[in-house]
Amino acid sequence: MSNNLRYLIVDDVEIDRLAIETQASKFPFLSKIASCAHALEAIELISVSKPDIVFADIEMPDISGLEFVRSLSGKVPVPVFITSHPEFALEGFEMEAFDYLLKPINPERFERCVSRICNFFELRSKSYAFDKEYNSNHITIKQGYDKYKILTHDILFLEAMKDYTKIITHSTQYLVLGTFSHMLDLLPPDKFTRIHRSYIVNREKIDAAVGNKLFISTHELPVGKSYKYALEGMF
């Protein structure tokens, strides 16, 4: 990746901050702004330094990571929670956290997170907007004065990325400014199903379902616990 992505760490445990730095140091395009032991310190730094990414713990004194990220009000494009408590995952995603990693940090899982972050920023630089035109057979998106038609039959799945939705087809992918709920309104409900807080799939493109995972082409997607009912009758 050509451009540096600047990150800030917020965690009251020093050894955990060092663990995040160790993983981030493997990626030369990630540049650390600061490593903070307290959310109040981080809030002051963010207003000045404007990082691209914040890696935040959840259980911290005085101000929790959830309260901290909520206070940012979208000032940081990519907030990522890193915590020992999986029970906070649902609330974290409801706040539209970009990702949710568990301690101790798994290097492969951290690498996948960084890969998604890179992909997000690269696509965001050339993102599209939905056009008002609507047809059940296609979605029209636009970039400036240019318009592009995506046939719904060609869509493999969609991924939520904060205020954006990534549309994946066999040949390419698009990042569109628009929420999942808006996308669900545009797609034919008999063909597209939500399987996770972050994924909507084209039912006709599913190759296999194994446990809590779906396989579409070369992609492996998780199935959320509250969405398992959506798979009924697919196979």
Domain ranges of the chain: 5-124, 128-231
Yes or no: is domain 5-124 CATH 3.20.20.80?
no
Instruction: Report the distance separating Cα 218 and Cα 216, nearest Å.
Output: 6
Per-position pLDDT tens, the chain of length 235? 447 999 999 999 999 999 999 999 999 999 999 999 999 999 999 989 999 999 999 989 888 888 998 898 778 899 999 988 777 655 655 666 788 899 999 999 999 999 999 989 988 888 887 675 666 788 888 887 788 889 999 999 999 887 788 999 999 999 998 878 778 788 888 899 999 888 999 999 999 988 888 999 999 998 888 887 777 766 5
Going by C-beta distance under 8 Å and a sequence separation of 6 or more, which residues neighbour residue 22?
A: none
Going by C-beta distance under 8 Å and a sequence separation of 6 or more, which residues neighbour residue 233?
A: none
- The arrangement of secondary structure in 128-231, i.e. its CATH architecture, is Beta Barrel (2.40)
DSSP 55-117: EE-SS-SSS-HHHHHHHHTT-SSEEEEEES-GGGHHHHHHTT-SEEEESSPPHHHHHHHHHHH
